[in-house]
Amino acid sequence: MQQLKILLVQLYSNGDCLYASAVARQIKQDYPNAHLTWAIADFCKKIIAANPYVDDILVVDSVAKNDVVAYRRFRRKIYSEKKNGRWDEIFITNIIDDRQANYDGCIRSAIFRGYPNKISVAVQPVLILLPEENNKAAAFAYTHNLHSYKEIILFEFAPQSGQLAIDFNFAIWIAQELTRRPDVAVILSSATKINAASDQIIDGSVLTLRETAALTHYCTFLIGCSSGITWISTSSAAKRLPMIQLLNPHTKWANPISRDFERFDISSQALIELIDFDKEKLLLVLQQAFNHFDKAKEMYHQEIPLHFKTTRNIVYNLLCYLQFSAIRRHIRVNNEVYGRNLAFYKELCIGFLIFPFRLVGNFVSKKIIRD
């Protein structure tokens, strides 16, 4: 029997590729003898290194994030290759172009909708660490004497997801206040190097995202923003930490942890989400959570309001390419999840109403820049 050649397209980002690792696992279950190639951007390819469900990696450098024209060119290319026999099946899970219609307030479910079959395997992101990555995390823990602290807090303070903007001054103030206790260490994790006067405030930028997954096994707590570090801490390679998530409920592409966990029947017992806070309130919540997490959750956890403002942007993007069938799919997807929600239809109508004005505005602004 000839081996099926399957291409999975999830180009970016790290968090989205972690979600899509469950799709790769599902493909291998649905097509046991298939050869699975994953098309992915160069800056994300390490996230799927050593993944047992991926046979080959196709690095794609020609499609910048959100570049619909380049993506369409790439899509035509791979479907031409399918016609010529290079691929037997192509599955695209990227939330771009018409695939934006799959969004329903939860990024993981939108990615899963890019695969036509049911996801019946475990949805936990698959991450397989290399020995040297585990060793790097162990050496980091030894160098900074993490074993000597009662609380070791991993702080995702510079998220790339757009879920919240936390500046360095905010993060360093929290770290300084927490480390007034000699048994607390704070690891400030981002792509930006930090210099702190205290040995208890530690620069986590020296570790890769994958090495940070290994580092979770030496930590006791996570302060996150629904970005890469948060989601890698839920992967198969990481230790699930009690967490406080700092979120902006009105971000363009909302992806609150609580909504994702509820959607996929994952326990949120060790999760507190905050949307209305300042430095002093966050410090108070943290101090309470260290002593009695359940009590802190009862007192301070804030429900993330459901909004459909993303829909007006999706409608605009789809109308730009006259993708009316995708708009119908977006309506169907959200009806399946929320029923005939009036707030959704309000945003849908706003999307249609503002389209011509926004289109003209974008045209004018681009012309001014070009000239």
Q: What per-residue confidence (pLDDT) applies to 162?
A: 56
Q: Range with the lowest mean pLDDT among 86-90, 124-128, 275-279, 325-329? A: 275-279
CATH 3.40.50.2000 fits 131-300, yes or no: yes
Going by pLDDT thresholds of 50, 70 and 90, the confidence category of residue 2 is confident
How many angstroms separate the CA atoms of 236 and 126, rounded? 5
Q: What per-residue confidence (pLDDT) applies to 330?
A: 98
Task: Write out pLDDT tens, residues 250-272.
Answer: 888 889 999 999 999 999 999 99
Q: What per-residue confidence (pLDDT) applies to 196?
A: 79
Q: What per-residue confidence (pLDDT) applies to 190?
A: 84
Going by pLDDT thresholds of 50, 70 and 90, the confidence category of residue 291 is very high
Sketch the domain layout of the chain as residue ranges: 5-112, 131-300, 315-370
If one counts every other C-beta atom within 10 angstroms of the C-beta of residue 150, the result is 11
What average pLDDT does the segment 322-341 reach? 97
Task: Write out pLDDT tens, residues 214-261.
Answer: 999 999 999 999 989 999 999 999 999 999 999 988 888 889 999 999
What average pLDDT does the segment 10-29 reach? 97
- Helical pair 324-338 and 309-319, crossing angle rounded to 10 deg: 160
End-to-end Cα, the chain, rounded Å: 59
Q: What per-residue confidence (pLDDT) applies to 90?
A: 98
Q: What per-residue confidence (pLDDT) applies to 251?
A: 85
Going by pLDDT thresholds of 50, 70 and 90, the confidence category of residue 165 is low
CA 225 centroid distance within chain? 10
- 3-state secondary structure labels for all residues of the chain: CCCCEEEEECCCCHHHHHHHHHHHHHHHHHCCCCEEEEEECHHHHHHHCCCCCCCEEEECCCCCCCCHHHHHHHHHHHHHHHHCCCCCEEEECCCCHHHHHHCCCCHHHHHHCCCCCCCCCCCCCCCCCCHHHHHHHHHHHHHCCHHHCCEEEEEECCCCCCCCCCCHHHHHHHHHHHCCCCCEEEEEECCCCCCCCCCCEEECCCCCHHHHHHHHHHCCEEEECCCHHHHHCCCCCCCCCCEEEECCCCCCCCCCHHHHHHHCCCCCCCEEEECCCCHHHHHHHHHHHHHCHHHHHHHHCCCCCCCCHHHHHHHHHHHCCCCHHHHHHHHHHHHHHHCCCHHHHHHHHHHHHHHHHHHHHHHHHHHHHHC
The chain-wide mean pLDDT, for the chain, equals 94
Task: Write out pLDDT tens, residues 21-79.
Answer: 999 999 999 999 999 999 999 999 999 999 999 999 999 999 999 899 999 999 999 99
Q: What per-residue confidence (pLDDT) applies to 202?
A: 97
The fourth-level CATH superfamily of domain 5-112 is: Glycogen Phosphorylase B; (3.40.50.2000)
Q: What per-residue confidence (pLDDT) applies to 150?
A: 96
Q: What per-residue confidence (pLDDT) applies to 167?
A: 79
Task: Write out pLDDT tens, residues 123-148.
Answer: 999 999 999 999 999 999 999 999 99
* Residue 238: both structure tokens together: 């990481």
Q: What per-residue confidence (pLDDT) applies to 368?
A: 63
